[in-house]
Structure 1
Amino acid sequence: MSQTIEQMVAEVRAGLREKLGLRGWTLAAQLRRGRRLLPRHIRTEAIYLAQIAALADNPKLHRMIDEAKVRAAHRNVLAYLATIDLAAQRRAAALNMVASIAFGLLVTAALTILVLWWRGFV
């Protein structure tokens, strides 16, 4: 195995911190904070990595680890994190905020005109 489990977990933790802004002392803590930010299949694989990191500390339990599954989970989580575009997320959030403000102004203007019409001022 070219990378140790600790190195894989460190890469995933760095990706979560960089792409999603998730902080925490451990991978499990980061995953608890970002529960809704990850799709279910990616979150499941990241939780698997967090559980395996605990097993890797014990030499007898280390033999129970399926290294192919660990590499696949690591690869899938990093591949998903690589697809996240921070600039697009910021643009979408700004656009949603502008759209909600515009909708509120439109509804307020329509209600004001409606009240003026009912009162006979228009």
Structure 2
Amino acid sequence: MVHTIDQQVAEIRGLLETRLRVRGHSLAVQVRKAGRALPRAVRRDLAYMVQSADLVKNPKLARMVDPSHAQRAHRNAVAYLNTINPRERRITAAVNVVASIALVLLVTGAVVLYVLVQRGFV
């Protein structure tokens, strides 16, 4: 069971790094850095994987880990991370920045036009 949990954690760490570009020296650090980029259920599953990885290191505490729950948590996390498209996330972020800049310019132009009308220049 030690090798399976370690392999699952390594797979999840690789997916977090490639899909979300979250780096860290451990899964716990990566999950903390990912924060709200992950849904609550996936964060809960990853927290269980972090806890399991810590417990498995001690032979007596390794019995506390439920293999079926760990497998389910791994499966849910991998399923979500495989649906993320990094290119699409970058494009969406760029479109959101451009849209917010356009909105600010539109509002500023409307305020300037309103002031010019109130002062009688237009």
TM-score, scaled to structure 2: 0.91
Moved over 2 A (4+): none
SS at match of 1:5: helix
Please give the residue correspondences for 1:44-63 in structure 2 after superposition, counting only pairs within 5 Å: 44-63=44-63
Residue of structure 2 equivalent to 1:34:
34
Q: Distance in 1 between matches of 2:65 and 2:101?
A: 52
Q: Distance in 2 between matches of 1:49 and 1:16?
A: 14
Q: Distance in 2 between matches of 1:35 and 1:109?
A: 37
Structure 1: 5+ residue stretches without partners? none
Q: Distance in 1 between matches of 2:55 and 2:67?
A: 12
> Which letter maps to 1:37?
A
Q: Distance in 2 between matches of 1:33 and 1:76?
A: 19
Residue of structure 1 equivalent to 2:116:
116
Q: Is the aligned partner of 1:80 residue 2:80?
A: yes
> Which letter maps to 1:78?
V
> Which letter maps to 1:7?
Q
SS at match of 1:35: helix
- Pick 1 or 2: higher relative contact order, CA cutoff 8 A, min separation 6: 2
SS at match of 1:24: coil
> Which letter maps to 2:51?
Q
1:64 Cα shift?
2.4
Residue of structure 2 equivalent to 1:101:
101
Identity %: 50
SS at match of 1:34: helix
Q: Is the aligned partner of 1:67 residue 2:67?
A: yes
Q: Distance in 1 between matches of 2:25 and 2:39?
A: 22
> Which letter maps to 1:47?
A
TM-score, scaled to structure 1: 0.91
Q: Distance in 1 between matches of 2:70 and 2:118?
A: 69
Structure 2: 5+ residue stretches without partners? none
1:63 Cα shift?
2.2
